[in-house]
Amino acid sequence: MVRFSKKYIQKIIFYPFLGIFIVSCSLGTSFKYNEIRSFKGTLIPELSNEPILIEKISTELIKSEQKRIPLNLPLNLLNYSPDSYKVGIGDVLFIYVYGETERLSAALARGAAINPIFEKIVRDDGSIFYPNAGILDVGGKTVEEIRLLLTDALSNVLNNPQVDVSVSEFRSQRVVVSGGFENVGSVPVTTVPQTLNEVIANANPFGENGNRSIGDLTSVKFTREGYTYDIDYEYLSRNSQIQNYIYVKHGDVIHLPDNSQNQVHVIGEASNPVSISLQRKNIPLSVALAQAKGLNQSTSRGKDVYILRPKDFEGKPRIFKSDMSSPSGYLVAGEFNLQSQDIVFIGTAGVTSWSRFINQVLPFTDFINSSEDTNIIN
C-alpha cells in the first residue's frame, strides 16, 4: 500500500496550477485567483472571479514602485519622538560643583587640595548620596532636573552654588542587537537620540570585509513592546525622508535574520536556470538574467519573461511581464529590482509540453521541503 504524505499532495496540486498559470500567461489571458495559500512559501492558486493583472514592466511602473511605502514600516514607529533622557539605575553621574562657603574659603586659604568633582552611581532605589546635599532621589529625572535638585540642596551650605551634571556612563537603558550583524550585543540609549538606521549602520550589517551581508537586510526584525515588525533596511537606507525619523528606545530588539533562503529563481528557457542568493540589496532583473547566462536563443521567447511575486509590501501576489526581445527591454530591466522569493519564468518560442515544464520547475523550486514524500508499506 502506498501512503502519500502531505508534502507530496502539495506538490501534485502546486505544479498543475502553476503550469496552468504559465500557459494562460503565454496565451495572453488573465489568471484568476480565489486565494493564495502558502506551503513553505509556495503559491497554490485557486480559480475565481478575481483576476491578477499582468503588469508590463515600464519606466512608469518602476518609478511608481520606488515611491511606494511598504506596510511593514508602521506609522507608530514614524510617530514616536524620544523625550529627554531619564536617568536610571546603574547610570554614572558626573557632578562638578563650584561655590563658596566659609569652610571652603578657609581650606583654600590654607592651600588645601579641594576636589569638587564627583562621580556617583545611581543606586538600586534610584538615589545617590552627595556630600552636604545628602541622599537625593534622581531616578526617572532628566539631567537638568537633577542639576536643579542638587543646586537647591547645596544652597544650604554654599553661597550661590554653580552645579554641572552630566551622565558619564549610560547603563540603565539598552537596545539589543543580534543575528547577522558584525557587532552584536547591547547598545546604550543616551542623551543623544539614535535612529534605527544609525544603530543598524553602527552594528555593521555587511560583515568584516564590508561588502557582503550574511543576513537578510530586506527583513530586519524590529521588536518593540511585544510587537515584531519586518523592516526593509535597503528601503530605509535609501529614503532620507524616513530614515531620520525612526528612533530607538529602551527595550527595543533589532535582529538580522539569516539570508540563506533569501533567493530569487530563474527558470524556464534560460541558458542556465539558477537560484540566486540576495546579499546587500535586491537584484535587478537584468543582472539575474545575466547570472542565468541569458535567454536560450534557440528555445526562448523574449517577449514572454514573467516575474511571479508571491507577495508584495501589501501582502498581495503580483505578476509582471518584461519584453526582452529588444535592447530597450534590457535597459528597463536594469532598473526593475527583484525581491526575495521572486520567480523569473522565461517562456518558450513554441508550445511547451507538460513534462518539459515539470522538469524545468522541479530543480529550482526550493519552497517545498525536499524531504521524503511517500511512505511505501508492504
Predicted confidence pLDDT, tens digits, the chain (378 residues): 444 444 444 444 444 545 545 544 444 444 443 333 332 333 434 444 567 788 999 888 888 877 665 545 677 888 899 999 999 999 999 998 885 444 555 555 665 555 566 889 999 999 999 988 899 999 999 999 999 999 999 888 888 888 999 999 999 999 999 998 989 999 999 999 999 999 998 998 876 665 556 678 878 899 999 999 888 887 787 777 777 889 999 999 999 988 777 789 999 999 999 998 876 556 899 999 999 999 988 888 888 999 999 887 677 889 999 998 888 888 888 889 888 889 999 988 764 444 455 555 555 444 444 434 433 333
Dihedrals phi, psi of 107, to nearest 5 degrees: -65, -40
Residue with cell 508584495: 312
> Under 8 Å CB-to-CB from 196, ≥6 apart: which residues?
77, 222, 231, 236, 243, 246, 247, 248, 254
Q: Which one-letter amino acid corresponds to residue 196? A: L
> Under 8 Å CB-to-CB from 368, ≥6 apart: which residues?
7, 10, 11, 14, 39, 40, 42
- Asked: is 92-169 a CATH 3.40.980.10 domain? The reply is no
**Same fold: 2-52+261-376 with 76-83+175-256:** yes
Give dist(CA 62, CA 121) in Å, integer: 55
Q: Which one-letter amino acid corresponds to residue 276? A: I
For residue 243, the model assigns a pLDDT of 74
Q: Which one-letter amino acid corresponds to residue 364? A: F
All cell numbers assigned to 44: 497554490
For residue 72, the model assigns a pLDDT of 53
For residue 104, the model assigns a pLDDT of 52
Q: How many CB atoms lie within 10 A of CB 245?
A: 15
C-alpha angle with apex 219: 54 to 330, nearest 5 degrees? Answer: 40
Give dist(CA 191, CA 64) in Å, integer: 39
The fold of 76-83+175-256 is: Outer membrane lipoprotein wza fold like (3.10.560)
Q: How many CB atoms lie within 10 A of CB 58?
A: 14
The fold of 2-52+261-376 is: Outer membrane lipoprotein wza fold like (3.10.560)
Q: How far is CA 335 from CA 62, 232, 330, 347, 351, in A?
A: 7, 18, 9, 21, 30
3 state SS of 192: coil
Give dist(CA 115, CA 64) in Å, integer: 64
For residue 340, the model assigns a pLDDT of 81
Q: How far is CA 361 from CA 64, 328, 356, in A?
A: 31, 28, 9
All cell numbers assigned to 232: 526593509
DSSP 209-234: TSS--SB-TTSEEEEETTEEEEE-HH
Question: Helix/strand/coil (H, E, C) string of 28-65?
Answer: CCCEEECCEEEECCEEEECCCCEEECEEECCHHHHHHH
128 close to 119: Cβ distance less than 8 angstroms: no
Q: How is the chain split into domains, by residue range?
A: 2-52+261-376, 76-83+175-256, 92-169
For residue 198, the model assigns a pLDDT of 92
For residue 374, the model assigns a pLDDT of 36
